[in-house]
Structure 1
Amino acid sequence: MTSHSNSPQHTREHHATDQGMPGTELVVEVGNIAHGGHFVARHEGRVIFVRHAIPGEKVRIRLTDSGDSSRFWRADVVEVLEASPGRVPHFWKQADSLGSWSRGSAPVGGAELGHISLERQRALKAEVLAEQLKRLAGLDLTTEVEAVGENHDAGLGWRTRASFAVTPKGRLGMHAHRSDAVLPIKEMPLALAGLNAMMLWELDLSGIARVEVAVPANGSRPLILLAPEESTSPKRLHSILSQLPHEVSVASFDPGKGEVLQLRGRTWVQETAAGHQYRVTGEGFWQIHKDAPETLVGAVTGYLSEGGYLEPGAAVADLYAGAGLFTAPLADAVGVTGSVLSVEGAPGTSRDARKNLHGQSHVEIVQGRVERVLHQRARSFDSLVLDPPRAGAGKAVVKQLMATGPRAIAYVSCDPASFARDLGYFQQGGWRLESLRAFDLYPHTHHMETVGLIVPAG
């Protein structure tokens, strides 16, 4: 058995007087993975959700969220007493729980599975997906979580977008898990090389509350978004602007209002996928993994085309359409004799879709809530593409979708729980899951992406 002795020197073993207090350390056996990147352990009948563990390990944990009245506790691993064969050295110093706690602080979030081999990560994600499908949709189904892109990159260098906080001292940082604490960082190994080359962690960002960075995978001009604090003066903002690389576009933005103000260059980035160019403004949604757009478009159009649901002259809809990632290839497939309805709720992103699909007379871009648009435009479709936010579509929208009478729905999801819940609603309405693929579009995190083909059971 392997032991990793990176525990703080002054550990605090539990006693009857301090049991359950945050900071208490316990020794536990680690059970199965749970949705959300946690692993289930038990101590004297209490469930503890442990991060940075692997099933089958014996570990020392530090309670981070606990109390006698809590239904369950949360904890981080601080020492591995009996290691899993799937454990590997963490690639990122600031996200490594063992090393971080030995230095006296929590790890940053964002790479919570970085201590696990990629092969084991994907197997664990497949377990989570199977468990959610069983629990929420009553399905016994095991689906492989597929690797995406190059397999020799160790799961690094894939993020085209990253969000950062700023420390009280004005340094680029990230939050610890479920914490307001902002920890300084010196690298972002999951991001494209272009993001790391900006060296934003070397700058004085005092006066900025949040930083968003977009580095398109096609090599086009990056964009940095700065969210100033209310007290930040224009002079201070200009001083920060002067520190940023000249070849990068810079804009300020208000997360609450969704407003983007040009400071230098442009307020948008140019993305490429499936033979199309896409303009994405400000914080507008775009798939994070550099290979995600091509992968997901291929999966969606593959399902619909192979089933005969996406042909010239067909009527299709792209719901929660964003800037039009799926809308453009759908328009190609149905041709000018067909029609595509593209629905997106965010005004800015919907404007991007209009620009991206300009000149496509058989495409209708509508900005509004999906449920409202479907209610106002009672019509039938041959097939639908559904790519809702993490919370899923919900029972009311699923009912509306079935009422439009499509022969098939391609459902793209970034959350196995909301996907399984919505699938349960489809099944209650007489539909079934025809096919399912899962993709590891977020290596070293607990996230995954699924594409399901859902059809009427008859």
Structure 2
Amino acid sequence: MADAPDIVDLTITNVAHGGVFVARHEGRVVFVPDTLPGETVRARLVDTRKKSFWRAETLEVLDASPDRVDHVWSSSSIERDPRDRAGGAEFGHIALERQRRLKADVLSDALVRFGGLDADSPLTRVAVEPTPSDEGGDGLRWRTRVSLHVDEEGRVGPYAARSHRVIPVDDLPLATTEIADAAPLHDRLQGATTVDVVASTDGVLVAVDGAASTGALHERVGDRMFSLEPLGFWQVHREAAELLSAAVASAVDADRFDATAPNLDLYGGVGLFAATLADRFGTGIRVTTVEAESSATDHAAENLVDIVGARAVTDRVDRFVRAIGREGDLARYRDATVVLDPPRSGAGTALVGELAALQPAQIVYVACDPVALARDTKALRSSGYELASVRAFDLFPHTHHVEAVAAFSRSGDRRS
């Protein structure tokens, strides 16, 4: 061990939520990035202010795991100084199959610790599925949207990991070829602060400081074309929209679905999952998509124009659901199907309680954060819903992120 008091040798025991790993030093938990379970690393303690845990940065691998590989992005490699490692590929040093097992471990642990599920339940043993084109592949070239930053010297790049310091890079291996070719990595953009590069059905758009020189963009999912704002939300992985649409359609129990009920697509964006319901159950269904961003609901209204009973509402989801609860006529929602795709922070206990009070027949939850899903799972279970199924997808290879689709039904509600 080096003489410096902040340099320590750590043995990594397991993975934690957020793309870091767990070690112990003098009885205290230490969170460490750029490593993986089973390794021994030399690390620098960088945050020792909290009593419950410390943070460290990996300097050197002393005993490597057999699952360690050369980093897919040299700009994030362990060979670089920790302060100069580009963020956005924090699992890029781990073999893909092990990445997926680690993500499954995080999801399983969250469902047990925060969701209250039994550790022996098959619902907590979820495999993280690769996307069709990534199966057996290298997990590269999937990002159709990249946000970069510009430093005071005009240099373009991602932020350093856990920092707001711009790191100039020569390549973007997680981006599609079109995105990588269009990104102005070697330009000097003096006075700018951000660069967004977006690929869609229409081609590639480069927007500096949010300035887009085009109208709506278009994305095709199956036989449908969706319009959206140039920098509006859309799934990042090139296969994500189609894969999640299929997963949501599969998660909906057809025996519980009522086409005439007031079905809901909450945090609906431009109407992807409302369209999913219509494509499975027919364009005569009733469905309301709710989104706080008015430009998104404008596009949703256009995207869902062929669905007779569809409407797009601009409102905060919590306010919309609360207003339903004040209407008094809640019985009509007992046959409804609700799809919700909340932000990374989740729906939250208050909204879950108000939604459960409507007693919809089933709820399909699209989650991009395991802990948020688990907390909302606990709230749903305490409000009379059972977790019926959960699937997880590796829509962010070489990062710690994972997407899940969970289905809930009313406890004791059995339909033939």
Q: TM-score of the superposition, structure 2-length normalised?
A: 0.91
Q: Do the aligned partners of residues 371 and 87 (structure 1) sit closer, same or farther apart at CA in structure 2, a change above 3 Å counting?
A: same
How many Å separate the matches in 1 of 2:280 and 2:11?
53
Structure 2 segments unaligned to the other structure (5+ residues): none
How many Å separate the matches in 2 of 1:348 and 1:371?
19
Q: Is 1:358 aligned to 2:312, yes or no?
A: no
Q: Is 1:133 aligned to 2:117, yes or no?
A: no
SS in structure 1 at match of 2:180: helix
SS in structure 2 at match of 1:200: coil
1:77 corresponds in structure 2 to: 58
Q: Is 1:163 aligned to 2:110, yes or no?
A: no
CA deviation profile, 1:283-330 (whole Å, cap 9, x unmatched): 3111111111111111111121x4423354454210000111111122
Give 1:290's match in structure 2, choosing from 238, 250, 269.
238
How many Å separate the matches in 2 of 1:48 and 1:271?
43
**Which one has more relative contact order, counting CA pairs under 8 Å at least 6 apart?**
2
1:310 corresponds in structure 2 to: 257
Amino acid at match of 2:387: L
Moved more, 355-364 or 29-38: 355-364
1:403 corresponds in structure 2 to: 357
Q: Do the aligned partners of residues 313 and 274 (structure 1) sit closer, same or farther apart at CA in structure 2, a change above 3 Å counting?
A: farther
1:126-275, aligned counterparts within 5 Å? 126-139=104-117, 140=119, 141-150=124-133, 151-216=135-200, 218=201, 220-227=202-209, 252=211, 262=212, 264=213, 266-275=214-223
Amino acid at match of 2:179: L
SS in structure 2 at match of 1:308: helix
1:358 CA drift (Å): 2.8
Give the conservation status (yes or no) of the 8 Å contact 2:278–2:284: no
Moved more, 163-172 or 434-443: 163-172
Q: Do the aligned partners of residues 69 and 401 (structure 1) sit closer, same or farther apart at CA in structure 2, a change above 3 Å counting?
A: closer
Structure 1 segments unaligned to the other structure (5+ residues): 1-11, 228-250, 253-261
Give 1:374's match in structure 2, choosing from 292, 306, 321.
321
Give 2:381's match in structure 1, choosing from 395, 417, 427.
427
Q: Do the aligned partners of residues 68 and 286 (structure 1) sit closer, same or farther apart at CA in structure 2, a change above 3 Å counting?
A: closer
How many Å separate the matches in 2 of 1:446 and 1:55?
14
2:95 corresponds in structure 1 to: 117
SS in structure 1 at match of 2:158: strand
Aligned residues: 399
Amino acid at match of 1:82: D
1:408 CA drift (Å): 0.8
Q: Do the aligned partners of residues 301 and 319 (structure 1) sit closer, same or farther apart at CA in structure 2, a change above 3 Å counting?
A: same
Q: Is 1:439 aligned to 2:387, yes or no?
A: no
How many Å separate the matches in 2 of 1:280 and 1:412?
20
Moved more, 409-418 or 313-322: 313-322
1:243 corresponds in structure 2 to: none
Give the conservation status (yes or no) of the 8 Å contact 1:310–1:333: no
Give the conservation status (yes or no) of the 8 Å contact 1:223–1:268: no
SS in structure 1 at match of 2:249: helix
Give the conservation status (yes or no) of the 8 Å contact 1:30–1:39: yes
Percentage identity across paired residues of the two chains: 39
CA deviation profile, 1:114-153 (whole Å, cap 9, x unmatched): 0000000001111101110110111122111111121243
Give the conservation status (yes or no) of the 8 Å contact 1:331–1:362: no
How many Å separate the matches in 2 of 1:315 and 1:326?
15
Q: Is 1:392 aligned to 2:349, yes or no?
A: no
SS in structure 2 at match of 1:374: helix
Give the conservation status (yes or no) of the 8 Å contact 1:313–1:334: no
How many Å separate the matches in 2 of 1:282 and 1:66?
39
How many Å separate the matches in 2 of 1:199 and 1:417?
33
Alpha-carbon RMSD: 1.8
Amino acid at match of 1:106: D
1:354 CA drift (Å): 1.8
SS in structure 1 at match of 2:318: helix
Give 1:66's match in structure 2, choosing from 47, 63, 73.
47
Amino acid at match of 2:313: V
